[in-house]
Structure 1
């Protein structure tokens, strides 16, 4: 009988922005490759900014799943988070 070696799973956070329907598929794919996946459903622009500033915990590896264009991410209930509005460590 062949012994299967233990392989430690790496953790990843999937940020689901707006009403994106892709996160379950992204999660299934990553789990299929052996990752331990946490999905965080982002409800507002402010919540996403807190994550980018490090105020809300994520894993070291983050996958962003959402919709947008050259002018930024689209939030159903809020205005877009676009270029030039990315947070910095200085706030």
Structure 2
């Protein structure tokens, strides 16, 4: 299922965060999904289109389809893109 939502929070040190979907449900977002899409982290408030999977009674993000950082909350750090050819870091 493809859904739209906003990043509630994502912490690089924890390697996960959550997205509040337009339906009002929260979905777990793991860093592996971000890395696959070319990101290391995303600021809170970022609008995302995602493929969601049900994991028991909980939702998790299976794929990041599109990212719109223009909606990110003020004061949040910029998204960090993964550099090709080496492991990503907090600095990119």
Normalising by the residue count of structure 2, what TM-score does the alignment of the two structures yield? 0.29
Task: Give the structure with the larger helix fraction.
Answer: 1
Task: Give the structure with the larger strand fraction.
Answer: 2
Kindly indicate whether structure 1 or structure 2 has the higher relative contact order, using CA contacts under 8 Å at least 6 residues apart. Answer: 1
> Is the radius of gyration larger for structure 1 or structure 2?
1
